[in-house]
Amino acid sequence: MRLRLNYLAYLEKLIPVRNLDSKILLKVVFVIYIFSSLVGVFSHVLWRDEMQGWLVAVESSNIFELWANNAPSGHPIVYPFLTFISSLIYEKPISMQFMQWSLAAICVFIFLLRAPFSKLHKLLFTFGYFPFWEYCLISRHYVVIQLLSFLAILLVSKKKYSILGMSGIIALLLNTHALAWSIAIGFSVLIIIDLATQKSNYGKLRSFRSNFNCIVSIIFVFISGWISLNSLFQTSRNIDGTSVNLTFKTILVALGKYLGGSILIIPNSSRWLDLLVASFISLTFIMFTTLYIRKSLKALVFYLTSTLSLLGFNSAIYSGAGSRHFGVYFIIFISSIWLYRSDMAATGGSFSIQVHPLSAKSEHKLKLYFSYFLAFILSIHFVAGIHRVSLDLVYPYSASKEVANFIRNSKYSDWPLFGTRDVEVTPVSGYLGSSIYYPELKKRGSFTEWINRDSNLRREDSLIHIKDYMKKHKNVDKALVILSNKSDLGAEFQSGDSQLSEGFEINFIKHFLRSYNKPERYYLYAVRRR
């Protein structure tokens, strides 16, 4: 007796979508996504990376100033420009969040409308970890990578597509994020190989218009790449990750990050066994996907080129620091399947890396098992997405907004502000709409300035920095001190406790510990000159 695991059938018992009209179902799914994610937008508290981007945009009076303020961050200009436009519409952080939500909603709309996936797969994807949480509620660059990838798939899956149009998308990808270079490279190689192998393009390439479009596209992409590199290398002297360091272990770490993007489990990089097991699973994942899409040259070239490019970048230059980074692997994976199925529908598949093609029965089993596999992956993302958005509704991602509201409604609202560490206190500045004196910068500011910043200041020396600030500014006889993460004044303060030190009285006011992000838990102190 053969035991057969019908995972999809089980899922469809839990989520009965097979018998529902496709158009009605997808409309219902989209409406639910729109309203539930919008609730998430209004409840989400921005954390430091999000607020940093907002403050850079809102503090810039024009596009040239935006370029100058953004350059030290090491991020290209596309997302900062979008944030800048949103700040012109409304000078509150919610405008950036609404912009982010709009882009995420467009991604989901395109996917539900055009992606060649089953109803169940579409449902699971829509409320998955990245479309529903990381690239929707967290206001960062990655939603643009997702949107541009989907638009590129729609364009390149056609038999005849615009080279100029694709070059425009590639140029935008190059200027969105360093990680997006892998996808841009994947599409670039795809186009080159497609033009070189398709007989229908030979005559087209001989025409003046086609040659002109190709030349213009190449020049445009190279200029865009140069602009992007100019942004990416602005902080090379301050970021250790810009140096090339390729070892066997870094390759294993990168493969572990691939697993993190696929099933949201990141191995412990300090344990060899974890890395080896994760790498084996990741390689199996990659080979299985390659086997599935092997009949589409477009999909195969894009998937392998993009994946290997990103693995190379993660192995040699920067391994990534969060699930948002590893989600790019997931974008590549979904886009590759999308491209494969679209290409198969258009051409029936004309390419295979197999010496001996699979039999019809084996081919059917491969498609069936991959469908199970895809449903399994998307189910993990679905559970993680629902969980993370639900958690964000009841537990603030950062305590910064609570701190800002407290200060605004307290007797300390007009006190000079002192805050450290600057990278963790910036969200408070954003929600207050007020500058803060940062000892790391030795001046008042809102966003973190990565150039000429003293990053070696110790938390244990917070009191010293406060005293130096007040000694330097003789006209300041009081200051409201915001310390991130923990109190570093050398005593366990309770509300109302005070400490005298070298002519200064330090009073503990309140702590704010309801934050998912531990570094963005804050302690407030009132410091007076005695």
Consecutive 10-residue averages of pLDDT for the chain (530 residues): 52 56 85 97 97 96 93 90 96 97 98 95 97 97 98 91 93 96 97 79 56 85 91 59 79 94 86 93 96 94 97 92 92 97 80 64 91 96 97 96 97 94 95 95 92 84 86 89 77 67 85 93 91
pLDDT number for residue 461: 85
pLDDT number for residue 199: 56
Q: Print the SS3 string covering 497-525.
A: CEEEECCEEEEEEEEECCCCCHHHCEEEE
Contact 100, 130 (CB under 8 A): no
Residue 510 counted as domain residue: yes
For 420, which DSSP code?
E
Distances (CA, A) of 82 to 26, 85, 93, 174, 245: 29, 5, 13, 15, 34
Q: What is the pLDDT of residues 345-389, one digit of tens each?
A: 887 665 655 545 778 888 889 999 999 999 999 999 999 999 999
Residue 500 counted as domain residue: yes
Of the candidates 179, 116, 177, 465, the residue with the CA atom closest to the CA atom of residue 320: 179
pLDDT number for residue 158: 84
Is residue 159 packed enough to be buried (19+ CB in 10 Å), middle (13-18) or exposed (0-12)?
Answer: exposed
pLDDT number for residue 6: 60
pLDDT number for residue 266: 85
Which residues, at least 6 apart from 287, have a Cβ–Cβ distance to it below 8 Å?
none
Residue 478 counted as domain residue: yes
- Helix residue spans in 127-179 (DSSP H): 142-156, 163-174
Residue 513 counted as domain residue: yes
Token representation of residue 90 = 């409304």
Q: What region, left, alpha or beta, does residue 154 occupy, with left being phi > 0 and alpha being psi -120 to 50 degrees?
A: alpha
User: Residues in the chain, how many?
Assistant: 530
Residue 444 counted as domain residue: yes
**Cα–Cα distance between 506 and 493 in angstroms, integer?**
10
Of the candidates 13, 178, 155, 183, the residue with the CA atom closest to the CA atom of residue 79: 178
pLDDT number for residue 90: 94
Residue 183 counted as domain residue: no
Residue 502 counted as domain residue: yes
For 454, which DSSP code?
-
Of the candidates 244, 322, 314, the residue with the CA atom closest to the CA atom of residue 279: 314
Domain that holds residue 440: 400-529
For 271, which DSSP code?
-
Of the candidates 147, 157, 175, the residue with the CA atom closest to the CA atom of residue 70: 175
Q: State yes or no: cis peptide before 421, omega within 30 of 0.
A: yes
**Cα–Cα distance between 100 and 80 in angstroms, integer?**
12
Our count of domains for the chain comes to 1
> If you search the block for the tokens 């991130």, which residue do you land on?
484
**Cα–Cα distance between 72 and 451 in angstroms, integer?**
6
Return the CA Rg of the chain.
26
Residue 68 counted as domain residue: no
pLDDT number for residue 492: 59
Token representation of residue 355 = 């010496």
